[in-house]
Structure 1
Amino acid sequence: MRFIIRTIAAAVALWVAIQFVPGIGVNAETNSARYWGVLLIVALIFGIVNAIVKPIVKSLGCAIIVLTLGLFLLVINAAMLLLTSWISGELDIPFHVDNFYPAAFWGAIIVSLVSWLLGLFIPDND
């Protein structure tokens, strides 16, 4: 159940990024079930990318992360959003991020902030 709630929270975070950042979009009718279905599928892809690829990239870029006092994590988050867009394109899912800056960079910041805020309201089972 927690997985489903976190996936919905990620879909909401992606929706907020789509609303505020030009260059991030879903090619579907805005208020349709297909639109929200696409957002849920993209949220699943984004979760898988963050679970598998992101730890590898963070471990390889550990020195740069330390040297930049963690600011390089913003670049990594933007790259994960671009990777999600590429995977979605390969799977014929109508989600796209136009370019790295400003779309992926600011989109990743918004997704991170909204996910963090929603995570405050999602109970941990610890």
Structure 2
Amino acid sequence: MNLIARIVVTSLALWICDLIFDNLEIYGGDDALGRILVIVGVATIFSLVSMIVKPIVSLISLPLLILTLGLFYLLINALMLWITSWLTDQIGDWGLEVTGGFWWYLWIALILAVLQTVIGWVVPGDKRD
């Protein structure tokens, strides 16, 4: 159940980021249902990347996380967003695209993390994460 709540939170946060930023595009899906399924698919991939790759990268970069007092997490989140963009580009005719380069990944990752936190407070579920 925790994974489903995480995917719902990430879906909402990605959808809001898609509305806010011109440099972020979630493409695919011809109608409303298709669009929702694409957003949920991208959120699922982002959640899985964050669950599998992020702990490994965080462990490897532990000295940098300590040195920067946790600010390096922003760079790690931007990397997770880039990996998600790359993976969805490899899969097919739907996915996530960020144009404009590294700084946009960083900025979108910051807003996405804030939105996930705020939406996570509202969505019921296990709060032990």
TM (norm. structure 2) is 0.87
Asked if 1 retains the 8 angstrom alpha-carbon contact of 2:5 and 2:125, the reply is: no
Q: Which amino acid aligns with 2:4?
A: I
| 1:100 positional shift | 1.8
Show the counterpart of 1:108.
109
Q: 2 CA distance for matches of 1:44 and 1:24?
A: 17
Offset of residue 124 of structure 1: 2.1
Q: Over aligned residue pairs, what C-alpha RMSD do you find?
A: 1.9
**Identity over the aligned pairs, expressed in percent?**
32
Match runs of 1:46-61 below 5 Å: 46-61=46-61
Residue-pair matches, total: 125
2:10, 2:43 within 8 Å by CA — same for their partners in 1?
A: yes
3-state SS of 2:97 partner? strand
Distance 2:62 2:56 in 1: 10
CA contact (8 A) 1:17 1:111 kept: yes
- Which residue identity is paired with 1:112? A
Matches within 5 A, 1:1-126: 1-28=1-28, 32-92=32-92, 93-98=94-99, 99-102=101-104, 104-121=105-122, 122-124=124-126
Letter in 1 for 2:102: F
Unaligned runs of 5+ in 2: none
Q: Deviations over 1:35-83 (max 9, x none)?
A: 1111100110001100110011111111111111111110110110010
Cα deviation, residue 101, structure 1: 1.0
Structure 1: runs of 5 or more not aligned: none
